[in-house]
Structure 1
Amino acid sequence: MSTAEWPLRRFSWQPQTGSHDGAPMRASLPLLLTSLMLALAPAVSHADDLQPFVATYDAWYQGKQAGTATMRLQPEGAQWRIDLGIRGNRGFAGILGLNLQQDTLFDVAAGIYRPLRQTTTRKAAVFFNRKIEGIYDWSRGVARWTGDLSKRRRDPVPLQPGDMSALLINLAVMRDAAPGAALNYRFVDGGRVRDYAYQAAAEPEILPVGEMSYSALRVSRTNGGNDEMIIWVAAGVPTPIRILQREDGEDAVDLRLVEYQGAP
């Protein structure tokens, strides 16, 4: 068993309550899985240090193994694409036949991850098959979503500098987090706007993962109400070690790293 050492590098993480229309959200399996998109992003020390990679996770739901997840970061010319796919194939998630796929195309402007296009697709047997696509028009200062969502969420959303999608917030958190750091971001995704606040632990902790153990920094969202989101990040690992979504004090969705490698 080996232990990865933690230098004072910067890293981090997201939640589930509040939107620009003021309606609180109640966590469900699809919503819990969606919130995990905020946690899955590579650890980097600078915006220009993005490196392509692929990571795979075991997905657990309410303490039982439920499926797998894959995260990929890759360049597309002068831009980047980050993708997350979660597939439930056991237990409750397997019964639903749930498939969740999200991607964000983005660029890096003055050290800021700037979303350009965002797509979310959910498939679950006969229950639903939904796709949402968003365009961030920075020249006009608005973002707009189309597809299977309410009319209210199709309304244009005024953009502010620094606004990010769920996946990009995780990139920023992992870049910015340090022991004891408080982080704040504005989420603009799926026709919703929310403020996200995170708090990093004062010190790293030892986190077992399979036959390995890591000195990992815990970063928690602090303004998610009864829905907790916790991410553990280890130095030298380009993706979170573990991501845990808890609802009303109980474990809900739990992603545990299996392996990662540099993408071609």
Structure 2
Amino acid sequence: MKLLNSLLLACSVLVASTAIAAAPAMPDAATGTRELEPFIAQYHVFKDGKALGDAVMQVVKNDGRRWRVDLNIRGTEGLVGLAGIAAQQSTVFDIAGSRYRPLAQSTVRKTVFTKKQTVGVYDWRSHQARWTGDVKETRRAPVALQDGDLSGLLINLAVIRDAQPGKSMQYRFVDDGRVRDHRYEVATQLEEVKVGDLDYSAMKVARAQGNNEETVIWVVDGVPTPVRILQREDGQDKYDLRLVEYKGAQ
């Protein structure tokens, strides 16, 4: 289960690269940010340079003002595939002004013989969030919410929305009973990134995590998900998500 948790964490604060898309949404000229639209994206997941499995991320619009972002991960290679390792994570959210505001979250982790599930509710009236289910005792207490708090999946969308060359971005991660500050720095110059057979001029967005870990996200203007996301540990590539294709979803 430790490997599954690591993979889900890597994926939920990452996503990555190539494309067969419908016409992409362009940045909003008035705000400098990108308008959210439904999409579905498929990824290959690698660990230590070796194929590990597949991931699918999608954003769908529910009734009214509510949206949902989903991430499904499935191990397909080696022992991970034999163990039937899979995970699904979803966040229901709305848009308050220009902010993505989480409302509810669910996470399911599976192997051939086990299944664990957690459910979280973000109550903006009381400004508290609470998780139930297979949650560690230390994470069962209510978490005080602040305006602008995001789940891990919503941070993915916020980075795409906000990234601009030379910009610093800070988000408060509130997820599964945990609270962390995430700070990202966008390089001043675009970087050429090759993903599959395609070349992109991408913004390199880096998050230093202090404990010898680093997350690097490559963002391309007009693409609704990162073209690549890489997690490094001790200077070595650990988890690498590479987009296979994406398209607009109805």
Q: TM-score, normalised by structure 1?
A: 0.84
1:204 matched residue in structure 2: 190
Of stretches 247-256 and 27-36 in structure 1, the one that deviates more from structure 2 is 27-36
Contact 1:231–1:244 under 8 Å retained in 2: yes
**SS of corresponding position for 2:246:** strand
**In structure 2, C-alpha distance between the alignment counterparts of 1:91 and 1:43, rounded to whole Å:** 38
Identity over aligned pairs, percent: 51
Instruction: Return the offset for 1:176.
Output: 1.4
Mapped pair 1:39 → 2:14: yes
Q: CA deviation at 1:103?
A: 0.5
1:152 equivalent among 138, 154, 158: 138
Q: Distance in 2 between matches of 1:44 and 1:61?
A: 32
Distance 1:156 1:252, change over 3 A: same
1:30-60 Cα shifts (integer Å, max 9, x gaps): 2243232122499874678211011101111
In the alignment, is the contact (CA less than 8 A) between 2:151 and 2:174 conserved in 1?
Answer: yes
Aligned-pair distance for 1:155?
0.5
> For the residues of structure 2 that align with 1:195 and 1:164, how far apart are their CA atoms?
10
Amino acid at match of 1:258: V
Contact 1:35 1:166 in 2 (8 A): no
- Please give the secondary structure, in 2, of the residue aligned with 1:49: coil
Q: Which amino acid aligns with 2:105?
A: Q
The question of whether the paired residues in 2 share the 8 Å contact of 1:67 and 1:88 is answered with yes
Q: TM-score, normalised by structure 2?
A: 0.88
The aligned amino acid for 2:35 is: D
Give the whole-Å Cα distance in 2 for the aligned partners of 1:66 and 1:131. Answer: 22
Task: Say if 2:46 is the partner of 1:60.
Answer: yes
SS at 2:149 equivalent? coil
Shift of 1:204: 1.2
Shift of 1:29: 5.2
Query: Which residue does the alignment assign to 2:104?
Result: 117
Aligned-partner Cα distance in 2 for 1:226–1:124: 29
The two structures, once aligned, show a CA RMSD in angstroms of 2.0
Number of the residue aligned with 1:194: 180
Cα offset, 1:233, TM superposition: 1.0
The partner residue of 1:175 within 155, 158, 161 is 161
Decide which of 131, 134, 149 is 2:117's aligned counterpart. 131
CA-CA distance at 1:209 after TM superposition: 1.3
Matched position secondary structure for 1:169: helix
Q: How many residues matched?
A: 237
Deviation >3 Å, runs of 4+: 40-48
Alignment of 1:8-47 (within 5 A): 28=3, 30-40=5-15, 45=27
User: Deviation of residue 111 (structure 1)?
Assistant: 0.9
* SS of the residue 1:194 aligns to: strand
Question: Residue 224 of structure 1: CA displacement?
Answer: 4.2
1:72 to 44, 50, 58: 58
